[in-house]
Amino acid sequence: MFIEPNISGERRGWIEVICGSMFSGKTEELIRRLKRARIANLKVEIFKPAIDTRYDENDVVSHDANSIPSTPVDNSQTILLLTEGVDVVGIDEAQFFDDQIIHVCEVLALRGVRVIVAGLDMDYMGKPFGQMPYLLSIADFITKLHAICMRCGNIANVSYRKSNEGGQVLLGEKETYEPRCRKCAHEKA
């Protein structure tokens, strides 16, 4: 496949999506890519939904305790207001954002911004989660990560909820969720 070089000097943006189950390393990969962009002297801004206060109210923090400063926002449109002159935008926990997140990512990419989005592609019931299916459909690059099943050791793609609490959104960590493969997720207990 031949890719025409960009000889106009015009900056081209794109959308990268990192998805997978809980404990698969999505946030870790997001942080890695954003830190590399900073090493390259690019102007980077990171955002997360304000409702995600599990590890820190402001920083994006992985389960392995790696972190990067971020700006919590109540709605995705706010991201557009805070990204003037930015080269790279990171967005964590994209499944929790409103339906305007797709438009926001498109606008940023059209402005020449590299957009890196991380989020759960499926909820605990194995159903598409929030706006993630739409983000996956418009992404230029997709990275699907897998965890390890806590029951059998195979690759896991399901965020199994250990409690009987209802509702699609239930913030939690290892006490509430564990990664499971498809087979073990359907075997309760």
Taking 90 as the threshold, does the pLDDT of residue 118 lie above it? Answer: yes
pLDDT at 42 over 80: yes
The average pLDDT across 69-89 equals 94
Tokens of 13: 């943006």
100 backbone φψ class: left, alpha, beta (φ>0; ψ -120 to 50):
alpha
Residue 103: pLDDT above 50? Answer: yes
Query: Given the structure tokens 């339906």, which residue do they identify?
Result: 99
pLDDT for the residue 134 = 97
Burial-class residue 106 by CB neighbours within 10 Å (0-12, 13-18, 19+): middle
pLDDT, the chain, mean:
85
Q: What is the pLDDT of residue 163?
A: 59
Q: Where are the domains of the chain?
A: 14-145
Percentage with pLDDT > 70 across the chain: 78
Catalytic residue, candidates 16, 45, 93, 178: 93
Which pLDDT does position 173 carry in this prediction? 54
Give 155-181 pLDDT, tens digit per residue. Answer: 999 988 765 665 545 554 555 789 999
When pLDDT is cut at 50, 70 and 90, the band that residue 36 belongs to is very high
Alpha carbon 189 to its chain centroid, in Å, reads: 28
pTM: 0.85
Q: Give residue 160's pLDDT.
A: 85
pLDDT above 80 for 1: no
CA 40 to chain centre: 22
Give me 168's structure tokens.
């699609």
Among 10-14, 67-71, 130-134, the range of highest mean pLDDT: 130-134
Check: CATH 3.40.50.300 for 14-145?
Answer: yes
- Please tell me the distance from the alpha carbon of residue 17 to that of residue 142, in angstroms, as a whole number: 5
Contacting residues for 141 by C-beta, under 8 A, at least 6 apart: 14, 15, 16, 17
* Least reliable range by pLDDT among 16-25, 70-79, 154-163: 154-163
Known active-site residue 93? yes
Cβ pair 15, 115 in contact under 8 A: yes
CA 124/CA 161 separation, integer angstroms? 6
Query: Which range, 95-109, 123-137, 154-168, is most confident?
Result: 95-109
